[in-house]
Amino acid sequence: MSRGRSFILSSLALLLLAPLPAAGEPTSFHLMQIEQVIGGVCGDTGAQVVQLRMRTLGQNLVSGRKLIAYDATGSNPITLITFPSNVSVSNAGSRILVASAKAATALPNRDFVMTATIPASYLAAGRLAFDDGAGTIYWSVSWGGAAYTGANSGSFSNDADGIFGPAFATRLPSSTSNALFFDGVASDMSTNNAADYALTPGPAGFTNNAGTAMALPDCFFGDDFETGGTSLWPAVVP
């Protein structure tokens, strides 16, 4: 047998003996929750925040992935961000904080800045998806109850039946500093948005990838009475 042929056969044998990835082995980005989302702060719908949370370790390679908002029919997608880079910290429970430019004062240490915001017309009923950048949805949250009539389907990676709906019962919060949040631990899968999500009991707190905690301010009416009404003044108390 020639030396060249022997080398080829030896190489093929090594390839056959090499371990293959286990079925269902996690990739490096897709075991992810949309943990918190707010459609506006104190009535300013330009101030928006989305916080992701890793369900297990090693999910930090988010470069090229997307956050996409949809209207009440699940149509007219708006890409809020295509992640331009990965993040450094990749522990189970690590967060990735994305905020609009208008939320910069309250959240100066955000990880990424949105390139677009959820349109105000989507806040009554709509959907937000964490997408792999090629059309596969790995986590989804919809809101507006029966007013949301679009799709709720996605990958089975984070939801056993691949259906993230029905939608959370009310609109996406924007008139206060309360956020919509996933009421479970980091390792939890989705069951359905109506059961899994709730409103924060007060002003939302957020955490960036480095573990720095930040909080939104309270909202006040002009008479200085704190309230959760729908006609809030944009001013906040320092």
pLDDT at 231: 37
Closest CA to 39 of 83, 87, 104, 100: 100
Q: How far from the centroid of its chain's Cα atoms is residue 163's Cα?
A: 16
Tens digit of each residue's pLDDT (9 = 90 or more) over 15-61: 333 333 333 445 699 999 999 999 999 999 999 999 999 999 999 99
Instruction: List the structure tokens of 41.
Output: 């702060």
φ, ψ of residue 196 in degrees (nearest 5): -85, -25
Predicted local distance difference test score (pLDDT) of residue 27? 62
List the single range of 2-6, 29-33, 139-143 with lowest mean pLDDT.
Answer: 2-6
Amino acid at 31: L
The answer, yes or no, to whether residue 216 has pLDDT greater than 60, is yes
Look at strands 112-113 and 95-99 and give their pairing: parallel
* Cis amide leading into 201 (omega within 30): no
